[in-house]
Structure 1
Amino acid sequence: MKIKICGLSTKEAVDTAVESGVTHLGFILSPSKRQVAPEKIFQITNDVPKTVKKVGVFVDEPIDFVKKAIQVAQLDLVQLHGNEDMNYINQLDISVIKAIRPDQEFKEYEDVILLFDSPQAGSGQAFDWDSLVTSGLKNKFFIAGGLNPENVAAAIQHFPNAYGVDVSSGVETDGIKNLTKIKNFVQNASLASSKQLFIEFLRITKKLNENKIIPYLMGSLAVEQIINFPTNPDDIDIQLKTSDFENFEQLTSLMEKLGYQLIDLHEHKFEKASIHVGFASVETLKNYAGVDDNDIPKINFKSELHQEFFLPTLKQNIQIYQAAVTDSWRAKKTKDKKILKKLLFEENDANIK
């Protein structure tokens, strides 16, 4: 789940958002009470990890102004809130988020990320969620408009196929970004998104179990099941015994029956709407992190449908993440370092008790 805090204007708010785990930082560059200059954006974000995307928000600005702001502020995306059409968008050599009202026609924005917002953006007013049908929508989309720490979980539950959530006034007090509200919004959004992903993992597990395959839940989603720490998982990370993993045609067929498409054969990654599922062989863990897959405990999850899967313990997750932060391919992922820090804290706390 992408989590975007918009209307940022101070270094303190930016740092709090990044530390809390946001994926996108939003800055208003058109006339507004939250407007900030491109030069200041660069100044307060020059140490932001590359994994966190900087978004410039514009309203019907001259295209040359937008291009210059992209360069000066070092933006990763632009968000357009005016009457910009595809002719305008095609002049920008950058990813675009187009803000629209739920009742607005958007067929022309075929390959653009959408952001569904209230008619008065930044007003704190929510739109009628039931008025927006997204089940057949191919575009990635954000939900905005009236979100806050108290209702963001409900929004994610209402729009399970949302690409992300966006907030501005909902994390403010008297028009100023409230650092506690930022932290609470990110935490609540992350936990709600993880809950949706875990439910989807159980759906996949049921299908795998029916074919005598017991998966291993790995990654940040697995960590949340162990310590209930909000990690905002990017995807569902599943590992299988080599004998099951090598029968990839069967695995592909099973995932297609669940509505997924194979999008990366090399990474063994599948996609359905905004959900990504990656598969790997669990036997590689022994050389990678010193974790023997035969020692990972099996979980008998008792729900409406009985599912079986393997879940690494706290200690095993520590070993895995210690390997991850020294892995040259993953070393730049700041999230892994935060997760490892929390895992070690939990281990130390358990030892004290």
Structure 2
Amino acid sequence: MDDLTTLRDAWDRPAPPSAAAHAAARAALLERASARGTAPVARRRLRLPRMGVRLAAVGALAVTIAAGVTVVQNLGGTDKNGHPRPVVPGLPGGSVADAQTVLYKAAERAQGRAFTPPRPGQWSYTETRYTSPGNPEIGAVQTPQSPLKTRVDRLWIRSDGRKIAFYRNGRFTISQPITSQTGSMPPDGYAASAALPRDPDALLALVAKKVPHATEAERQDNTFDILGGLLNKNAVLPPQLEATVYRALAKIPDVTLNREAVDVEGRPALAVSRVIEGWLRQEILLDRKTYALLGERSIAVKDHTGKGDDGSWAIKKGTIGVLSVRLAAGIVDKPGQRP
């Protein structure tokens, strides 16, 4: 059985993104794999922005239904003069300044952690929970009250990036990722990731060469998405590289600190964010105390109507696009093992 057939069998939900979504999110490993193999459907879905599509596609390999999510509003609040309080005590009140401070603190934390690189032939393991209403159907309207579906993905990637492994309906599958030979961003496997530049400007320049864009804003959107994907895709990164990613994120224009808190596994998270296409806020979620990565979220910040060849769909302000929560990560000796 070839790779495409394996992945075709693996995707039984959700229905596939549109061709436009495939192109916009092509840097993501499992989105590519899932988008190439899918069961036939009666009608095509319409385009969702990049992070929502990327994470929803990763969820196509999911095997477990779990609990939903809670959003905690207005953590910072305002002071006696009506000005917003900083989300992190001791940080300046400006949202951009807050985001840069948080990202530099995350970089310091990453750079100081203990680290043992994987040996050749070892595998990275990530266990991630995805919660989402799914891709909207033609004519549908998604709201904050739309039901959410939750799935847990367990994924192994060999350190050279040439093999992936996952479970579906109790069946363990090892396959070659479609992106293993393409030089995709973020790259597949530890070896390719570890070869990335340790200088933030050099990393940003490399990402800029890899992403399609028509405008400067789209380039920055793609860059934010790919750097977030690099953090979430890899179970481990060299400490200096992880620190470089956070410092590179701090250089992207219009990256701010969301003044709402996201409750992740009972922990209020810091949300470093960028608004995509004027209506969807993409967030990288960090632990408030340790600045460790917790996951990602996308949420509509204004009403939006999406249009495509087959029709249109609508999403209302406050609707969650997708929430991913990292449950476990580490290095193992063979696929199927857990750290």
Shorter-normalised TM-score: what interval?
Answer: under 0.3
Structure with greater helix share of residues: 1
Structure with greater strand share of residues: 2
Q: Which has the higher contact order (CA 8 A, sep 6+)?
A: 2
Max Rg structure: 1
TM normalised by structure 1 equals 0.24
